[in-house]
Structure 1
Amino acid sequence: MNSPHQAGGSARIEHVVTSGVFELDGGSWEVENNVWLVGDDREVVVIDAAHDAEAVLAAIGDRTLRAILCTHAHNDHINAAPRLSLRTGAPVLLHPDDLQLWTRTHPDRGPDGELHDGRVLTVAGTDLTVLHTPGHAPGSVCLHAPELGTVFTGDTLFQGGPGATGRSFSDFPTIVESIRTRLLTLPDDTVVRPGHGDSTTVGDEAPHLQEWLDRGH
């Protein structure tokens, strides 16, 4: 499935849903992932190359893929990244704190560069700023595109609350602090585009922060 979303500036947001298996701590779960593309008719970046490189390549078409941006290194978000990179020549970028997770899926091929906090990537004249938001994974990042009124949150923030923290390398107080300090400080009308499920807004999620704190794990 490939669907366009509202644009700002010269760039637009496109959305592909892919299906596959998430594996961690000896378990496996069937999942659907959101793959986000940001760009114009000439160039694009991909956020989270999940499961199906061919589906992502079809969405890219004849455009230049500038980079493959990984919000974190759980296998379901990166399993198609090396193939997509091989087919396009685009670099794979990941926060260095998630290398320990990356090597579980791709032990023989590392990322090509780092998504360190504060880095700004520009595609089609539109900036995406890296926000380091640990908790779901140590190297989880969100990508804020203010001109598009959007933040791509990976598995840090969903409609209805924070990402899961019940597995290895995750921590609930850390993810709530990341959301409180890095995401809920964005404008209320900022659209939250997560790694799974439906989009929401910062304003819709902000009132639930105390509920998350009370709920704990």
Structure 2
Amino acid sequence: MLTLDRLVLRQLAVGPMDNDAYLLTCRATGAQLLVDAAAEADRLLALVRDGSPDGRLDVVVTTHAHHDHLGALAEVVRETGALAAAGADDAAAVTAATGVEVGRFLRHGDTVRVGEVELAVVGLRGHTPGSVALAYTEPATALAPSAVPGRAHLFTGDSLFPGGVGNTQRDPERFAQLYGDVVARVFDVYRDDTVVLPGHGRPTTLGAERPHLEEWRERGW
């Protein structure tokens, strides 16, 4: 658990592929947003209750439409009444896989609110057509012990990991699109202390990954 000025961030690895689900709780209002209801709905619902004893969950954002990122979506939405949100170009696939109607179609440049906190939507096309990341930037006045004014936290799904971008099945067009989006929309926008919180595995920072961008481009994956 990480407590920032305006948010509390909780993380839980679930399912056979150790998917990382992230719960964001607005400290001012108690509103909550879950990134990827991937698997093990009972554990995710317990995580929600950790953040809100009454089980409040306002929004579930699905970063992309692959099965390992939405296996618990139907049960979590049914139990909490949360709004389901997903990238516009993945929304139909999310509904087809889960039966859950996507109530909010996300596009690059949109924002998503959780209580008094605003998250930027970053479209990162290529792993899937509608893959999205969410970015929370700490306020310039952040004073909490764990806070760093102006630092961003980026929830990237399967589009950016330590060591490279997400899988594009060695399709050169998909790789070029994803690599281009990651460079233009992430590395060219956010600071090196930005924390990258991927859909699997450990976090990293843009500063740790930036020196390897040309290596990624040359290898094509």
Tell me the TM-score normalised to structure 2 length: 0.85
Q: Which aligned segments of 4 or more residues in structure 1 are displaced greater than 3 angstroms?
A: none
Q: Who is 1:161 aligned against?
A: 164
Give ranges in structure 1 of 5+ residues lacking alignment: 21-30
Specify the code of the residue in structure 1 equivalent to 2:82.
A
Give ranges in structure 2 of 5+ residues lacking alignment: 139-150
- Structure-2 change in CA distance of 1:167 and 1:52 (3 Å): farther
Specify the code of the residue in structure 2 equivalent to 1:181.
A
Distance 1:109 1:190 in 2: 32
**2:164 equivalent to 1:176:** no
Shift of 1:104: 4.8
Shift of 1:167: 7.8
Q: 2:20 aligns with which of 34, 39, 44?
A: 34
Shift of 1:190: 0.5
Q: 2:207 aligns with which of 188, 203, 208?
A: 203
Aligned counterparts, 1:90-169, within 5 A: 90-106=82-98, 108-147=99-138, 149-166=152-169
Distance 1:120 1:8 in 2: 20
Q: Who is 1:28 aligned against?
A: none
**Alignment length, in residue pairs?**
201
**2:217 equivalent to 1:213:** yes
SS at match of 1:214: helix
Q: 2:67 aligns with which of 75, 79, 97?
A: 75
Tell me the TM-score normalised to structure 1 length: 0.86
SS at match of 2:154: strand
Q: Is the 8 A contact 1:11 1:123 kept in 2?
A: no
Q: Is the 8 A contact 1:156 1:175 kept in 2?
A: yes
**2:182 equivalent to 1:194:** no
